[in-house]
Amino acid sequence: QKNFAQRRDLTGKKILVTAGGTQEPIDPVRYVGNRSSGKMGFAVAAAAALRGAEVVLIHANTHLPIPTGVTAVAVSTADEMLRAVLDYCSHSDVVIKAAAVADYKPARQADSKMKKEINNLALTLVPTTDILAELGKRKGKQILVGFAAETDDLLANAKKKIQRKNLDLIVANDVSRTDIGFATNENQVTFLYADGRQETLAKMNKNLVAQEIMDRVIDIIAARYP
């Protein structure tokens, strides 16, 4: 059994983690959302803090306790998450984006509760900013880790995201499986690297997946700052 907490191997590193799922308001009482619980991102933040990193956790619509030693920033929408990430990212050595960010938001938000007066209601959605792609455009020595949530062609789709967002590592998981992923305590992931390497892990508790992610981040840091 590895004892990660004894290894303070992230001391002095600043790590930004995002978690949860954004909600995009339709009117004052309704939103467009997704099924992310935030468990994976919270596990990553806790693992990084246990190993000595200075951690900022930007979380959207979660109901989980803030891990010890972590600075938490609560947001709700994709736009709020973008602003918070841009505020904190320049101070971060590593950014790990576990959050499920809405890809679209309602074009308009009604000021008062919409009434059920009509038979068919069409909601016009417009794209949000891809936060990770923005970070990818401006990254220098920073290490960028993304997640890929897929129901089909997991590895092929995840590979495209590494290139498109200029990532160092992507953590790919199959969200069509009900035994892992959303709201569960387990995950089964494949790590894909910018240089094409890939590594599939066994199914395990999200806290252990988080420790495995931090191990890979440490390897990338070691390679970048020899």
Q: Which spans of this chain sit near Ca ion (rule: CB under 5 A)?
A: 103
Q: Which residue of 16, 43, 60, 148 would you call a contact of ligand CTP, by CB under 6 A?
A: 148
Non-local CB neighbours of 88 within 8 Å, separated by 6+ positions: 16, 56, 58, 73
**Shortest distance, position 2 Cβ to ligand CTP, whole Å:** 26
Is residue 172 near ligand CTP by the rule CB under 6 A? no
166 belongs to the catalytic site: no
Catalytic residue among 3, 34, 119, 187: 34
Size of the site for ligand CTP (CB under 6 A): 14
Is residue 162 near ligand CTP by the rule CB under 6 A? no
Is 137 within any annotated ligand binding site?
A: no
Is 165 within any annotated ligand binding site?
A: yes
Is 79 within any annotated ligand binding site?
A: no
Is residue 59 near ligand CTP by the rule CB under 6 A? no
Taking a C-beta distance cutoff of 8 angstroms, is the pair 172, 188 a contact?
Answer: no
Cα separation values, 27 from 49, 60, 81, 117, Å: 37, 18, 19, 15
User: Which one of Ca ion, ligand CTP, none interacts with residue 215, CB within 5 to 8 A by kind?
Assistant: none
Q: How far apart are CA 71 and CA 79, in angstroms?
A: 20
Is residue 146 near ligand CTP by the rule CB under 6 A? yes
Tokens representing 13 are 């590193």
Q: Is 70 left (phi over 0), alpha (psi -120 to 50) or beta?
A: beta
Is 161 within any annotated ligand binding site?
A: yes
**Shortest distance, position 103 Cβ to Ca ion, whole Å:** 4
Q: Which of residues 96-115 bind ligand CTP (CB under 6 A)?
A: 97, 99, 101, 103
Residues that bind ligand CTP (CB under 6 A): 78, 97, 99, 101, 103, 128, 130-132, 146-149, 161
Which positions make up the binding site for CTP?
A: 103, 113, 147, 161, 165
